[in-house]
Amino acid sequence: MNLLTIDPSAIDWARAQFALTAIYHWLFVPLTLGVGLIMSIMETKYYRTGDAFWRRAAQFWQRLFGINFAMGVATGIILEFEFGTNWSNYSWFVGDIFGAPLAIEGIVAFFMESTFVAVMYFGWEKVSRGFHLASTWLTWLGATISAWWILVANAWMQCPVGCTFNPDTMRNEMTSFFDVALSPFAIGKFCHTVTSSWIVGAAFCVAVCCWYLLKKRETKLALESLRIGAAVGLFAAVLAAATGHKSAQDVASQQPMKLAAMEALYDGGTGQGLKVIEGIEVPYALSFMATNDFNGYVPGINDLLKGYTREDGTVEPSAQEKMMRGRQAIESLAAYRQAKAAGADQATLAPLLASLQENMPYFGYGYIKDEAELVPPIAVNFWAFRVMVGVGCLLILFFAVVLSATCQWPKKWWQKCDITALPSWLYWLAVALVPLTYVASESGWLVAELGRQPWTIQDMLPVGASISNIGSSAVATTFWLFLILFTILLTVEINIMIKQIKKGPQL
Amino acid sequence: MYENSYIFAADMNKKDSFWHRAFHLYYDGFRQMTLGRTLWLIIAIKLFIIFFVLKLFFFPDFIGQNAESGKEADFVATELQQRAPSP
């Protein structure tokens, strides 16, 4: 096989495989972060009251946490394997930057989690209540810090900062660790992703409690946990909406094509409305979401392809111009490396290097054959965004109602209502919201990752240049292997989880 | 998962060294596991499949296998150069 001939279907299989493994990994992570928070709150109540009920309640939720943690652990490592095999050009090109947060995640966060999770499970009678409580919170914190570093890596893919390209090593090298670790894009993404995970944990907690109320068992645990779950869920859902607004502004600023695809906005303008569905829109809402100004300018897909003048007078080049400059960068890189290998002097190399550096911001565009490739899949982005936001709004209402009911506030609304004796369909509705919450959570990732297509690194490297020159059959084989393995893992987890929920907290 | 842990706690001398207590935390904890044994078995099987089947047979280091040692940059440069569309 000619090493330089890419099997086109290998690109699709590699993307599908990465998407499959990421989607499965993301089934476990939000539950860890969300239930981790809830179990920590429960144990804090035990610490403060000394009431054995709260100890048993905390131990029950820690058991469910442990099941999910055990199932989910190491499922993310497979993604790193895929980088080295399927995405080797990407790995080499950006590994110095991308690898650092992943390494820190593994060394710091995972060790923190695994150290304190042992104290959490084994230390109930061996360490003081205060140290045990701290270990529970630190287990959750370790998982959250893990999420931070992974999201720093992902945020860097969406908005590459703090780096410079070295044409001798063919690698992007980190110039500022803190620019990467604390980029505004990373902070926004972290806050939105983690709060959305708390929603998943809260929805799961509420669902388990409603199932107990339906079965008329563990009533005290159900009511107390319901109150905490609903409070966490409402707090998280409101925060997720606020952080989502910030994320939308980051996307508008750094990935305007993603925003245009999310909105199926072909021709932009000022005072843009936010589409609910085609034909129904909230006036001025898109402009406000993107720019914090109801009359702010939001470019559409056609504006981004043709080029436009921003409100501040600066010009966004057209796609064709970017593609031309990208090709110039690729040619300058090739000429520079060839000249250097031939022993050329600085006087020869300097202008080539200058041309490369001048056009480097458009390097990735040099691989684009047709400007239509720059448009992400519109339908998937459009509907995934609406599913995420729609379910998010529904959950704000849901958690507010549940919290109001469990707190019996306002009293006049609930005085004739016995929350332990509602129609069964209401309890089943709460259970049904768990898969819907997961769908919303995964939809958010679809928007984030499909919306950045065709880029693996925004503007720097498209998918076609990132992939290894491998046959599609190998990738397809491992795709099906993963599908089978992860489905088995998920089935086992659901089985064990249901058994333990049915067993109950042994109060 | 938590049964009988207090029995072992009673045996521990508070003057035992930190390392002694840490050892017993894990030793007693693992010995008393019930659900935990099932979960650890699943973790062990999963890790074996991930590292000794998937990594070994399906996920080689592509550049390590295809580029000469020390010439990885040249390999990637050639790959990226040739991926660019013809003018």
Q: To which H or E segment does residue A52 belong?
A: helix A52-72
Q: According to the model, what pLDDT value does residue B6 have?
A: 45
A154/A203 Cα distance (integer angstroms) = 26
Q: For residue B3, name the pLDDT band (cuts at 50, 70, 90).
A: very low
Q: For residue B10, name the pLDDT band (cuts at 50, 70, 90).
A: very low
Please answer whether residues A272 and A287 qualify as being in contact, where contact means their C-beta atoms are separated by less than 8 angstroms. yes
**Average pLDDT in chain A:** 93
Please state which of the ranges A328-342, B6-20, B21-35 shows the lowest mean pLDDT: B6-20
B58 contacts A465? CB cut-off 8 A: no
Q: According to the model, what pLDDT value does residue B1 have?
A: 47
Question: Nearest by CB to A470, which of B12, B35, B62?
Answer: B62
B55 contacts A81? CB cut-off 8 A: yes
DSSP annotation string for A161-203: -SEEEETTTTEEEES-HHHHHT-HHHHHHHHHHHHHHHHHHHH
Q: For residue B57, name the pLDDT band (cuts at 50, 70, 90).
A: very high
Q: According to the model, what pLDDT value does residue A98 have?
A: 86
A265-285: per-residue pLDDT in tens? 999 999 999 999 888 999 999
A22-56: per-residue pLDDT in tens? 999 999 999 999 999 999 999 999 999 999 999 99
Provide mean pLDDT across the span A66-90.
93
Please answer whether residues A299 and A268 qualify as being in contact, where contact means their C-beta atoms are separated by less than 8 angstroms. yes
**Which sign does the torsion angle of CA A218, A219, A224, A227 carry?**
positive
Q: Is the pLDDT of residue A198 over 60?
A: yes
Where do runs of H (alpha helix) occur along A215-284?
A: 219-254, 256-262
Stated pTM of the model: 0.93
**Which sign does the torsion angle of CA B9, A62, B29, A110 carry?**
negative
A119-129: per-residue pLDDT in tens? 999 999 899 99
Phi and psi at residue A475, to the nearest 5°: -70, -40
Q: For residue A8, name the pLDDT band (cuts at 50, 70, 90).
A: confident
* B28 interfacial to chain A (CB closer than 8 Å): yes
A426-435: per-residue pLDDT in tens? 999 999 999 9
Q: Is the pLDDT of residue B5 over 60?
A: no
For residue A164, the cross-strand partners are A173
Share above pLDDT 90 across residues of chain A, in percent, rounded to a whole number = 87
Q: Is the pLDDT of residue A142 over 80?
A: yes
* Residues contacting A180, CB < 8 A, separation 6+: A97, A100, A101, A152, A156, A161, A162, A163, A174, A186
Q: For residue A140, name the pLDDT band (cuts at 50, 70, 90).
A: very high
Q: According to the model, what pLDDT value does residue A5 have?
A: 63
DSSP E strands in A285-378: the ranges are: 297-298, 308-309, 315-316
Which residue, among B27, B51, B62, would best test binding to A if mutated, counting the most A CBs under 10 Å from its CB?
Answer: B62
For residue A274, the cross-strand partners are A282
Please state which of the ranges A89-103, A193-207, A247-261, A360-374 shows the lowest mean pLDDT: A89-103
Please answer whether residues A126 and B21 qualify as being in contact, where contact means their C-beta atoms are separated by less than 8 angstroms. yes
Q: Is the pLDDT of residue A457 over 60?
A: yes
Residues 32-61 in B contacting A (C-alpha not used; CB under 8 Å): 35-36, 38-40, 42-43, 46-47, 49-50, 54-55, 58-61
Please state which of the ranges A54-68, A180-194, B2-16 shows the lowest mean pLDDT: B2-16
A124 contacts B1? CB cut-off 8 A: no
Q: According to the model, what pLDDT value does residue A418 have?
A: 84
A458-502: per-residue pLDDT in tens? 999 999 999 999 989 989 999 999 999 999 999 999 999 999 999
Share above pLDDT 70 across residues of chain A, in percent, rounded to a whole number = 99
- R_g (Cα) of chain A, nearest Å: 25
Please answer whether residues A332 and A356 qualify as being in contact, where contact means their C-beta atoms are separated by less than 8 angstroms. yes
Provide mean pLDDT across the span A112-123.
93
Provide mean pLDDT across the span A255-260.
96
Please answer whether residues A145 and A112 qualify as being in contact, where contact means their C-beta atoms are separated by less than 8 angstroms. yes
Q: According to the model, what pLDDT value does residue B52 have?
A: 95
Q: For residue B14, name the pLDDT band (cuts at 50, 70, 90).
A: low
Nearest CA in chain B to A62: B1
